[in-house]
A and B are shown apart, each in its own frame.
Chain A
Amino acid sequence: MASPGKGVSRREILRDGLQMAALVGAGGLGGYLLGNHGQGDDMLWQIDPYKCIACGNCGTHCVLQDSAVKCVNDFSMCGYCDLCTGYFPPEPAALNTAAENQLCPTGAIVRRAVEEPYYEYTIDEDLCIACGKCVVGCAAFGNASLYLQVRHDRCVNCHQCSIAIACPSQAFVRVPGSQPYLLKQRIRPK
């Protein structure tokens, strides 16, 4: 905008030129990113269950008081064992189904007889603290059908997940919002 009577000064021409260049630059960068990297839905954090070693950091490093990571039971993989090593302490020598023998520190695994001789194990997510004890137990002697997943009804989707920083196995990955879970039967290697 030229000041009246003075014409356009050199400074103003320079500024306007730079402004146009910056606009084109910002627009070009935004357009390039939208075209080549952009996607409609959000990126979400999820745990790759094949990388996870259930170290327990998920329970303690989440920014939420009650971690957004919970254990899931992948029923299609579960053996429905009576002597579940995810539910009972995985000590083969002294394994029995006595009530005091629960492995879960908060009693978050619900055990229910379904059909002789099978038992169904469901997770009470409000009680689960993502300590990973059952995950380790199930993987040690069972089918590894218990594993940890970020629950997206709880996760606040921090841009930099605090658990991802503390994850020793690089199991935290960004997944597209259209496929928010990495369930083992879907991503089974080979």
Chain B
Amino acid sequence: MVLTLAALPLLCGGSASGEERFPPPDFTYHKMPETPVPPPPSPLWEYADTAALLAALALATYLALGRRSRNGLLILAAVSLLWFGFRREGCVCSIGAIQDVAEAVFNAHRAVPGTVIVFFTLPIVFALFFGRVFCAAVCPLGAIQELAAIRPQRIPLWLEHTLGIVPWVYLGVAVLYAAGGTAYVICEYDPFVAFFRRSGAASMLIFGACLLVIGIFIGRPYCRFLCPYGAILGLASKLARWHVRIPPTNCIRCRLCEEACPYGAIVSPPAPLAPAERRKARRRLALFLAAVPVWIALGAVVGRMTHATLARMDYQVRLAGWLAAEKDIDPNDKLALDAVRAFRNTGQSPAEVFSAAAARLETFRTGATLLGAWIGLVVGLKLTQLCTRTPRDDYHPDPRRCVACGRCFWYCPEEQVRRGWIQSVEAVLPQGTPVPLNTVARRDSPGEKT
């Protein structure tokens, strides 16, 4: 065996180029078989997926906005989980499609299946009109967490806002690595795909299980604090014309829904500010707005400094590192040893790898600077956004965080009246609560069901 290994490098070069040491025989009787090539699954499945996505989005929109049925949404979520998750095994998904889109935008030669493009675009278009109905009951990752959220607790608002930055950072990192063709990190760290396939690396299963256990008490941890696609959809939902509402008609400000949302999406009407406070708030807003460029510059500088660390994920850069210090490779590092061996097999000179790695490093210098600037922008805008107040007089879901799960519907006495569970809203208002003034007037308005 030792002899074999010693002879291997000498012989590999010749055999790799397809040289035939033993010419294939010409048989008299025997018929040479074809090398079996089992075909991939029919592309019809792709079209079925696209049709299923469109149907599920339309149904989710109807259930959330038309029927206002939480049960319907839960059933649809379970069906989506079974189909997109367990039947189609989690690929392709809209979250991962971000990376294909990013790579295609930066790489002219990257072909993208039409299904992937539809999966990326369609939920955004729906969000622009109806909010995050995709998250409500179509996305299998959202569905599995929605079904796991048995005892969801609210978390402090400051934590909600802080962790809410993470998806944007994750989006930036994912785009950076996908655009350069280095890796698809969203897929690499997909928490639930191992469940969908009933098989996968231990780390994947543990990460997914941890998120599910946390998800029992803190609803949808992946959707809220990691999912980059959710962040995009949230932004699109901000422009939605027909976003899901808490009351079916008008808010009577009974405050019964105040605690209903485990995802911290319900916003109370802000109390009016005194003129002095208003001036102070305005000054604060101006200050934070002015600080945004500072955040961007700071992020860019820090990002630029980390480019070498970020580039370490790139294959060319790693290979160059291994070749440069071949003697220092840990004998247990199988990947490094194999990579060096594979490199020898190609017959390239190390200089080619070094120049390719230097070019990659240069690309990463630009990429890391942009990523840093992006993170700075996100932080700056988040702080600015915290200084703004939208004057409203009703309780409404913040479209960025609302996933249209429908939990709040039943809390609303107007909804209970609509469903015929109670005769009038006064029946459920807490004892001693003054009936809000606008109730009577609004409920008598034409077109109202009683």
Contacts and interface: CB of A to CB of B under 8 A. Distances in A.
B15 interface: yes
Given A77-B18, A79-B22, A19 B128 contact: yes
Interface in A1-39: 1, 15-16, 18-19, 22-23, 26-27, 29-30, 33-34, 36-39
A39 B21 contact: no
Most chain-B Cβ atoms within 10 A of its Cβ — which of A65, A120, A169? Answer: A169
Q: What size tier do the contact residues of chain A reach?
A: 35 or more
Interface stretch (B132-140, B197-205, B222-230, B258-266): B197-205
Contact of A19 (B93, B117, B239, B342): B239
Given A39-B114, A157-B91, A169 B342 contact: yes
B395 interface: no
B4 A165 contact: no
A162 B21 contact: no
B430 interface: no
Nearest to A90: B4
B438 interface: no
B334 interface: yes
Given A26-B121, A39-B113, A139 B38 contact: no
Most chain-B Cβ atoms within 10 A of its Cβ — which of A26, A89, A183? Answer: A26
B84 interface: no
B302 to A, nearest CB: 27
B421 interface: no
A75 B17 CA distance: 17
Interface string B1-37: 1011001100110011111111111011110111111
A143 B236 CA distance: 58
A81 to B, nearest CB: 6
18 contacts: A19-B239, A29-B101, A29-B105, A30-B120, A37-B111, A37-B112, A43-B113, A65-B199, A89-B1, A118-B30, A140-B12, A141-B11, A143-B20, A152-B38, A152-B40, A159-B184, A168-B341, A169-B342
Interface of B: 1, 3-4, 7-8, 11-12, 15-25, 27-30, 32-41, 43, 46, 89, 91-93, 96, 99-101, 104-105, 108, 110-115, 117-118, 120-121, 124-125, 128, 183-184, 187-188, 193-194, 197, 199-201, 204, 236, 239-241, 315, 334-336, 338-339, 341-343, 345-346
- List the 9 closest A-B pairs by CB distance, nearest first: A79-B22, A169-B342, A160-B187, A168-B338, A153-B38, A152-B40, A160-B184, A30-B121, A168-B339
